[in-house]
Structure formats: structure tokens, C-alpha cells
A = this chain, B = another copy of it.
Amino acid sequence: MRLDALAARLGCALRGDGAVEVTRVAGLEQAGPGEITFLANPRYAEKLGATRASAVIVRPEVETAQPALLTDNPYLAFARALEVLHPQPKPAPGVHPAACVDPSATLGEGVHVGAYAVIGAGCSVGPCSVIHPHVVLYPGVTVGADCMLHSGAQVREGCRLGDRVVLQNNAVIGADGFGFARDAQGRYNKIPQVGIVVLEDDVEVGALTAIDRAALAETRIGRGTKLDNLVQIGHSVTVGEDTVMAAQVGIAGSTKVGRQVTLAGQVGVAGHLTIGDGAIATGQTGVSSSVEAGAVVSGTPVQKSREWRRSSLLFARLPELFARLKAVEKKLGG
């Protein structure tokens, strides 16, 4: 594709020779002739001079030897360039003969259903959604339009997925929440989990991630929220819009996570808490009390990140501290 055509597709300004041909997207260091690269993080600006790419995507103020596409958000333009130059093949519409679709299920136009997929009674799948092989929809599941459900994803009875939802492989939506009532003998009796899970539009759920159904009402993941792999969402949790959780995060039951929250890898959040809008927790934080909107937190038990970092530096100096205290005590004739 000519660079000027790509500029038009991405809505970027063009600087330099628009007749250059670019056919692939590549990283700054890996790119070669015929490829376009990007500079999103100013930290890597020094690598820009050495790239062998035929063109680059940069902010307008960045100078380049190559022809360039100019935008205030090079990372977003990079994402769109990938869509244009590396279109992902989409399985053709149709139901594989070795799929098992209940006669009472309804499939929208252009739906693809792969081999050995199971679509239960009363399910509904919106137009142009892709149900890969080995996906199981229990009875009464609704899936919106333009969804992509990868192989091995399991969606339990009655759960509802909005439009453009993506489930990566082996994700589990709507398994029973972890609820048991202890009897006089100390035995755990299962509490039937009769609620559902609702995934709003544009939610993406990572591979091997579990979102449990509510005991009574619903577990809900807000529009545009993205969950990485191996994440655990307990029953009756609600998550706001445009929140991200990195891999192996766990949220215990009934906690409310706000909008535009960022939880880094392996963060754990206890049950019945509130995480305010825009809050950020760094990796492995153990959130045992509610977090205010906009707060940046770390540590177990959780603290403001700035304070946690300060204390952590001093933690490493504890041997020195004890030695100094001992010296003081000695001076005092202790």
C-alpha cells in the first residue's frame, strides 16, 4: 500500500514521499525496507535514527529521516495500521456440520459456528459473531453482534454478552460463585448460585480467565473493560467501564471496581470493597481495604504507593537501622 493511501486510512498527516510502498508493520529495531514502524514512547527516541523502516508513525514534533505519518497518538495509529496491513482472517459464515446447535437457538446473519461447538436451548447469537470450535454456550446464553469467542471458551446458563465481546481461549464465564454455608457439623453446604454474568459491549476476557456468576443477581463487567489471562472475578463483583486488569489479578466477591481503574499483575482485592474510579494498584498489591478514586496504591497491606516505596527502601536498610540503634544504646551506657 502506498504511504499516502495509508495516511488517508489512518487519518494521519503525511510528511515526505507518499509514493513509498509499505506492506507490513514492525518494531523499531526489527523493521526493514517495505515496513512501517512507530515511536510511541519518547524513551526509545534514540532508536529512531537507526531504524531501517521505510516509514514511521510519530508525533508531529518528532523529526525523522524517513517519510512519516504524523499523529498525536502514534500508538493508536500503530494499532490501526496493523488492522489495515495485517487483516486477521475471519472464518466464513456458516455452521460446521459437526456443531451442535439447539433448534431453539437463534443465530444472526453471518454467524460462524465451528466444529464441535455446542449452542444450547434458547441461546441467541448476534450477527457476524464468530463461535470458534469447542465453544460451549449453556442454555439461555445471549451473545451480541460481532463477538469473537475462541475455542474452549465456556459460557454458563443465562449469561449475557454485549456486542464486540472477545473471549480468549478457555475463558470461563458464569461458573458457580464460591459460596457455601457452614452447618453445625462444620461442613460446607453449597449455596446455589442463581445469578448470571453480564459482559457489556467491547469487553475482552483473557485466556483461562474466570468470571463467576452471582449468587442472586449479576456479576457485571463494564463497557470496554479488558481483562488479561488467568484473572479471577468473584461472584457479584461489578467492574466499571474502561478498566484494565493484568494477568493473574483476583477480585473477591461483591467488590465494586470503578471506571478506568488499572490493576497490575497478580493484584488481589478482598471482598465487599470499593475501588474508586481511576485508581491504580501496582503489581502484587494486596488490597484489603477500599481505595479512593484516583489513588495509586501498593503493598500488602495496601498503602499509597509513594509511602510504600519509601518504606520499602527503608526495609532494605533495617540491618543498618538496628546497628545504629545498638550504637546509640551503647553510647547511652545501655
Nearest Cβ in chain B — how far from A122, in angstroms?
Answer: 11
Chain B residue nearest to A120 (CB atoms) is B133
Contact size class for A?
A: 35 or more
Query: Which of A45-53, A105-113, A308-316 interfaces with chain B?
Result: A308-316
> Chain A 175-199, CB within 8 Å of chain B: the 1/0 string?
1101111111011111110100000
Q: Can you list 21 A-B contacts (CB < 8 A)?
A: A27-B216, A79-B180, A82-B192, A98-B98, A100-B115, A115-B116, A116-B134, A154-B207, A169-B172, A172-B208, A175-B229, A178-B229, A230-B230, A230-B250, A232-B247, A265-B270, A266-B268, A284-B286, A314-B319, A317-B322, A321-B321
Q: Ordered nearest first, which 5 A-B pairs have the shortest CB separation?
A: A175-B207, A314-B318, A232-B247, A76-B181, A154-B169
Interface residues of A (CB under 8 A from B): 25-27, 30, 73, 75-76, 78-80, 82-83, 86, 88-89, 96, 98, 100, 114-116, 118, 132-134, 136, 138-139, 150-152, 154, 156, 166, 168-170, 172, 175-176, 178-184, 186-192, 194, 202, 204, 206-208, 210, 212, 215-217, 224, 226, 228-230, 232, 234, 242, 244, 246-248, 250, 252, 260, 265-266, 268, 270, 283-284, 286, 288, 300-301, 303, 307, 309-312, 314-319, 321-322, 324-325, 328-329, 331-332, 334
